[in-house]
Structure 1
Amino acid sequence: MDEPEIPAVAKALSLQAGICRNMGSPLNGELLDRAAADWLAGGPVKALMAPWADSNLRTQFDAAAPLRLIGSWRELALSGDDPAVSVAYDALDAAAIWAAVRVAMVEHRQRLARFMAHEPQTNEVRRSIALLGGFLEIAKATGLPLRCFEIAASAGLNLSWDRYRYRMGDVTWGDPAAAVRIDTAWEGGSPPVEARVSVIERAACDRRPIDLHDPDERRRLVSYIWADQTERLVRINAAIDVALANKVHVERADAIDWVRAKVAPKPGTASVLYHSVFWQYMPAESREALAALIAEIGAQATPDAPVAWLRMEPRGAAPLMDVTLTLWPGGEDRLLANAGAHAAEVRWFGANHS
């Protein structure tokens, strides 16, 4: 007799548990396994995951529903509003955390549900190392100063990509004294670190930008950094300090409207539109409209006023990301690299890869 099909919500929680383990978070792996079992048993997880009850597996992952759940617990822990949850998270004790959050999911259900109603805004700083190669390729190909426009920028931490220090295999790039230092498991050749980079303009937008001056919003941002990955926590806090020191500002705007108003070729500069782990959260019609708009802007490019579209986005439902560059005039897509979702590993192909 065939066993019954596991519902998509429980399957998504279990699959995300495996992904977390593979990405170096055994803590979240165990918590999500417990959450999957709780959902199947009709526990408090089921009520919080109700918005995705009828969604298929792909939709679960496109919405990052399992990550919203564990993010809501972590935000509660960081707030101090539930001492039992906070103490358990401080100890990184999965059994204690589960016991505490299982109670909290009942007592703080509305608060957790409000948190989960908005898509994750991780603003993973390490993704800048995957994007860096694209910026270097643009600088090398054009020889022009860069105007950088980031959409879905969250708190704008990756808007400061040129203020960080990087190690990519045997090569380095950036200010040796930079407070934010980023490395990764790098495979393949090296991007053109010899290219001269000058960022003369930078701007960003997000539908719901995070105000780093607001402690509640800052806590929401940090809550999506997995609690047992202390290196990431150190890095994001350093990047927040850099953003505040440089008065980084993210405008509240719809991506399509903002791109239409802000991004256009400018003689003597290379205009770069970029984003990371954003595309999946847009409705299909919005993706099509934005892609058409970017192509329209690219068609206006000239050799003296090139336009680039740089992005790091998922390949299907897998956690593998493609780093892709389109440069106009020309408009040919180039797969520069593959990267993990947090860019803990990057496989570099370079601009000549097709």
Structure 2
Amino acid sequence: MMASLELAKARLTNFAVNEAAGISPLYELLATHAKDDDEVAALLAAAPENFAHGTLFFAAAQRLVQAEPWIELANYYLTMGGSFGPDERVWPLFRQFVLGRADKMRELISTRTTQTNEVRRVATMFPAIAQAAKQAKGPIGLLEVGTSAGLLLGVDRYGYRYSTEAGEQINAGPTKTPLVLTCAVSGQPLPKLPKKLAVAAKVGLDRRPIDLRDEEELAWLEACVWADQPERSRRLRVAAEMQEKDRPTLVTGDAVDGLADAAAQVPAELPLVVLTSHVLPYLADERRQEFVAALASLAATRPLWWVSQEHYLAAMTYLVPGRTDFEDSFREIRGVLALVRWESGKPDARLLGRTGAHGQTLTWL
């Protein structure tokens, strides 16, 4: 079912208030205007209900700006070399631009999905993946569900620098690497983190996986990066270049129905670590429960861990119900980091931390 105008406006409102606010001044300003503009908001109504989100709307707009980098609006897109901050002129320019290309906007919004392959998110997942690897006592196989281009599967090749509230720095991962991911940590002390993670297989599952060798696909991935966050764009490019020497196996399929076939691509002798990061909110509640059940079925056939970085109400509520103290993460677009292992058919789920939407913060519990 396609999104209604009312739903589109509600999603833009949520994006302005709970996602962009305090993080992206440009998108906060544009979304604040767009949510009250029926003509502009109606463009987002071209998307199916599950995918009608502000991130998709602004990705479509940025993809069209990429195609016309000489226009005045491009000056506000720092990811494209612009240098202007949001001011009173940007909304009229943006409105004129998207409405003047309404057919192209609707085509992108109706045929594309948000592919936010934010590499930095793996910085908040690394401590949990390292715990799973330690418990596995040997090389592991990774399967990322909702993988997009599979950049999070490069977890073993990135470096990590965690800054504590006391001003200390904790370094992990390989020391010689083109990409070091930074993260501010708080809460309880992090467990000891390894310099090396032994990963013997990497598989990604997605409804529409992205091949980074395709320039058009890479351009869409870049369009999904928020336009006033050039550092995210830089990380994406570096990670994409690193993947050229370490390509994962990408499988086209549904998160539930395609899970077993994708897992079969990881050699059976390897302990399987399944990763999800801000994927499950795109599934209906029934499908989320089916996903958890599918993981349990897989765990009956081989050693399996699930590293989940999802909103509590989209994931851990099914395994650790009643934790109302984590329910705010859904509204605030924060993740709950969890590690789940099945023992004799029963899940052992541990909530490890709260994470920032783009991997910028980790509160260890």
TM-score, normalised via structure 1 length: 0.84
1:77 pairs with one of 49, 65, 77: 65
CA distance in 1, matches of 2:269, 2:8: 51
CA distance in 1, matches of 2:282, 2:336: 16
Distance change in 2, residues 1:266/1:107 (3 Å): closer
| Pairwise CA distance, 1:149 | 0.8
* 1:332 aligned residue: 348
The answer as to whether partners of 1:20 and 1:28 remain within 8 angstroms in 2 is: no
Instruction: Give 1:191-270 correspondences, 5 Å limit.
Output: 191-194=191-194, 197-263=197-263, 269-270=270-271
2:134 pairs with one of 140, 149, 152: 140
| Pairwise CA distance, 1:159 | 0.9
Structure 1 residue runs without a partner (length 5+): 1-6, 350-354
CA distance in 2, matches of 1:161, 1:67: 24
Instruction: Give 1:310-329 correspondences, 5 Å limit.
Output: 310-316=307-313, 317-318=330-331, 319-329=333-343
| Pairwise CA distance, 1:163 | 0.6
Q: Deviations over 1:165-200 (max 9, x none)?
A: 001233211122211111111113113314863101
Instruction: Give 1:1-354 correspondences, 5 Å limit.
Output: 9-39=8-38, 44-51=39-46, 63=51, 65-80=53-68, 83-89=71-77, 90-94=82-86, 95-117=88-110, 118-169=112-163, 170-187=169-186, 188-194=188-194, 197-263=197-263, 269-301=270-302, 306-316=303-313, 317-318=330-331, 319-329=333-343, 331-349=347-365
The answer as to whether partners of 1:140 and 1:192 remain within 8 angstroms in 2 is: no
Moved more, 186-195 or 225-234: 186-195
TM-score, normalised via structure 2 length: 0.82
Task: Give 2:176's aligned amino acid.
Answer: A
The answer as to whether partners of 1:76 and 1:85 remain within 8 angstroms in 2 is: no
The answer as to whether partners of 1:298 and 1:328 remain within 8 angstroms in 2 is: yes
Q: Deviations over 1:185-235 (max 9, x none)?
A: 111311331486310111112111112122221111111211211221211
Secondary structure, counterpart of 2:357 in structure 1? coil
| Pairwise CA distance, 1:255 | 2.6
The answer as to whether partners of 1:136 and 1:192 remain within 8 angstroms in 2 is: no
Secondary structure, counterpart of 1:184 in structure 2? strand
- The CA RMSD over aligned residues, in Å, is 2.5
Distance change in 2, residues 1:327/1:23 (3 Å): farther
Secondary structure, counterpart of 1:245 in structure 2? coil
Moved more, 120-129 or 309-318: 309-318
* Number of residue pairs the alignment of both structures matches: 329
CA distance in 1, matches of 2:180, 2:245: 17
Q: Percent identity?
A: 26
| Pairwise CA distance, 1:51 | 4.5
* 1:3 aligned residue: none
